[in-house]
Structure 1
Amino acid sequence: MPFSILISPLFDECPPWPCTHSDTDKSLDLTLKWAQQCKEQPRADGQLIFGIIQGSAYPDLREKAAKELHKIGFDGYAIGGVSVGEPEEEMYKAVDMAEPFMPKESPRYLMGVGTPPQLVEGVARGIDMFDCVLPTRVGRNGSAYTRNGMMQVKGAKFKQDFTPIEPDCTCYACQNFSKAYIRHLINVGEVLALQLLSIHNVHFYLTLMREMREAILAGTFQDYRQAFHARYVPPQKQK
């Protein structure tokens, strides 16, 4: 039987955004209490437990969470309490608050993030792992991620466009179907369209992460980061 790894984040309480310092501190104490209890429970074979660093927008609480979880000791550490309605810059600040206190030798996981630019910026800040529903959610809404930004394939301008979503993409959707055909499927309510867009978007995300790993190993990540942002146009800036 192939060996598999199950990553289980501990049971935590995620405070809302915004949240007062006092309420966040109380919530964090509960998360830390549960963390200790979680650590003491038996595990399945191959199961890894990740501690979750909460603390909202407060540097002292993010530091407290990271240090206390490290004392308990987990296989990896996640930054939680982001992507809960806060502005993007606040999300980056939360990462910057927690990262200096996260063990260098352990995997770092940013929960619920994010868009392609957010993945690049997360990696730039020392994050290793992400989870997010965006690739399939965006696909189900008729759009695809590309190196130039998000593309609304359901748009009328693609009615006669018989090229793939991205010419150099090796995913099943791009190798076998055109934008015009996928748009047609969307317009007639065929679920295959949403499946194809989701396949492409997941492939795009996996490719992005692979390229960043390769750039890190080659010592060229900062060049990759700059080139990515120079080419990728966020939805709010698209014409």
Structure 2
Amino acid sequence: MQNPPTPQDSSSPVPIQTIGIFLALTAVFLIALIISANRLSQHPRYQPGETSLIPRQWQVITDQEQTFTFNMPDQWEWVENRPNTPNQAFAQALKENEGVETAVSLFRRIDPKTEIKMFAIAPSDMPHPPILFVAKSQRMNQLSPTQLAAAIGNELSSLQQIELIDRPGAQQFVEFMIDLPIYSETWQCIYQYTNNEEAGYMLGGCAPQNNFGSIGTDLLAIQDSFQLLFR
């Protein structure tokens, strides 16, 4: 009498090609997850509250490298100095608005390599409209707002006011106002400075002294919105 046949395993080995596709899809998913997590982590440390001066309809400006963000009126025209990109438009716009360089010169006394990251021009009928800029200095990354406040208080004779501000999220700023000769006349400028482990960042807004009252509220609101992004 013959023994009954032994049951054979009907399953077959998974093809190597199928395993490769599965591993590739898994890798793509993990990379996408890491990128998404990194983007989610690049958010402001400080969110303006209900009492903020910032109008809700203003545009939100964030640099290409995602290192800072702020709000600005929709009517203002701005241009960015993008890294590793030929930017003739930025160079030409800066040449046409040389007052920006004058406003930044205050920080170039500390670091001659201070770089203008972007600037904006307010709509105006004046020959030289109000200006706004953001500048960056890698050398000033170790210079805290408190240290800069002490240095400014001792050296700037045109200093009108200065204030240290601690915002939620461990971001400290120093804000100060000075008179500065721009375009052969007296302009009033409001500056704000903060730093992180990578660089020092400056936000400045200037307007002719006689017209500063009409633009000063907007400049203060822009400063209130400025914040560094952290990774």
Q: What is the TM-score when the length of structure 2 is the normalising length?
A: 0.26
User: Which structure is richer in relative contact order (CA contacts within 8 A, separation 6 or more)?
Assistant: 2
- The structure with the larger Rg is 2
Bigger strand fraction: 2
Q: What is the TM-score when the length of structure 1 is the normalising length?
A: 0.25
